[in-house]
Amino acid sequence: MDMPKPTPEHQKLHVFAGAWEGQETTMPSPMGPGGSASGKMRARVDIDGLFVISDYVQEQGGVPTYRGHGVYGFDASTGEHTWYWVDSMGMPSVPSRGRWLGDTLTFESSHPGGKGRYIYRWEGRDKHHFRIENSFDGGTTWVVFMEATYLRKA
């Protein structure tokens, strides 16, 4: 059997590869009072070009407050991009599934507390905006949890 090769859909995810830094704003929520933070992510293309693997850290006042690890891929059987995420909150990973529409990649996931929407909007290859929205009524209404803008550093 021949091993799979990266398709153009896999290669679209390669835009994440590199070192990123940005400013983040978290909204007040049951998880905390909200506020400003800085975020750093390092991501690399791996596993024969089929996945992008990322490591993330959020800092407030120079102190790490949150860490995460992501794996981005493509499911050829459904035509959807996938994103698995584990973090310092300790919850099990729930796969998010998404699609590109122009310069925007939007993932959605369901979890016991509701639904999450994760929106990456690219401005070229060196800048992207990220937004997390949550729904607690099955997806009828959404509230912004976090917004950020990241710049490529390497």
For 64-80, the pLDDT digits (tens) are: 999 999 999 999 999 99
Q: Is the per-residue pLDDT at 154 higher than 90?
A: no
Q: pLDDT at position 30, please?
A: 78
pTM of this prediction exceeds 0.75: yes
Q: Is the per-residue pLDDT at 92 higher than 90?
A: no
Candidates 56, 54, 63, 66; CA nearest to 26 is: 66
Dihedral (C-alpha) 140, 85, 127, 58: value to the nearest 10 degrees?
Answer: 100
d(CA 151, CA 135): 28
For 39-57, the pLDDT digits (tens) are: 999 999 999 999 999 999 9
Q: Where are the alpha helices (DSSP H) in the chain?
A: 8-12
Contact 43, 16 (CB under 8 A): yes
Ordered structural domains, the chain, with CATH: 8-152 (2.40.128.20)
